[in-house]
Amino acid sequence: MDINLGDMDGTTLAAMAKKAQPQVEIVFATAYNSYAEKAFDIDALNYILKPFDPKRIEQTIQRFLKKRGQESSGKALAREDEKKPISKVSINSDKKMILLDISDIVYIETGKRACIVHAKGKSFTASCSMNSFEERLKDSGFFRIHKSYLINLEYVIEIYPWFNNTTCVKMQGYEKEILTVGRNQIKELKQLFSM
């Protein structure tokens, strides 16, 4: 931007632009060195005097790219933080909220009017639907093997045949429990374990 713009000087216009769009970068290209201090007061990226020195222009371009790169990296890191899923799930049980580490949940089963969450030897009754749990945990290594069971694949220790052509899974820490796999889920479950 030049300093001399006729009715308005470039520093006034630059200040207005910065106020409207703080992320805009401004480089002054002018024959007037007396405005340099004012230009940097409004956070100009650079102030280049005429006649232009190609090295100075190259430095300005590099400064701009570096600054934009840092901002982009910062935004990318912020987006990564936003993408990170929360590693806990809340369970409303007995008029209180219990926070469980998702990695501690072995499996969830439907009960009479609620779900029962089995987490490393403890069980919690949750007033949440199985569909809600499935939606919340779908990207955390859980798989719905049956309308009544949602399992953490990390805890599966055995997949075995059962009566009447049914299949069951055995879960670590819950070896005595019989968790049947729905007929429509058997193929997908086996594919998850490359069987």
Domain architecture of the chain: domains with CATH = 10-83 (3.40.50.2300), 88-192 (2.40.50.1020)
Half-sphere exposure at residue 141, Cβ-oriented, CA atoms within 13 angstroms: 14
- Residue-wise pLDDT for 48-64, tens only, equals 888 888 888 888 889 88
- Residue-wise pLDDT for 103-112, tens only, equals 999 999 998 8
| Contacts with 36 (C-beta within 8 Å, 6 or more apart), sequence order | 28, 47
How is residue 110 written in tokens? 């439907």
Reading phi first (left if > 0) and then psi (alpha if -120 to 50, else beta), residue 194 is in left
The answer on pLDDT for 8 being more than 60 is yes
DSSP assignment string, 109-149 = EE-SSSEEEEETTEEEEESS-HHHHHHHHTTTTEEEEETTE
Q: Structure pTM?
A: 0.56
Q: Using CA atoms, how far apart are residues 158 and 181, in angstroms rounded to an integer?
A: 12
The answer on pLDDT for 81 being more than 60 is no
The answer on pLDDT for 161 being more than 80 is yes
The confidence score (pLDDT) of residue 73 equals 58
Q: Using CA atoms, how far apart are residues 11 and 26, in angstroms rounded to an integer?
A: 10
E runs forming strands in 16-95? 27-30, 46-49, 88-93
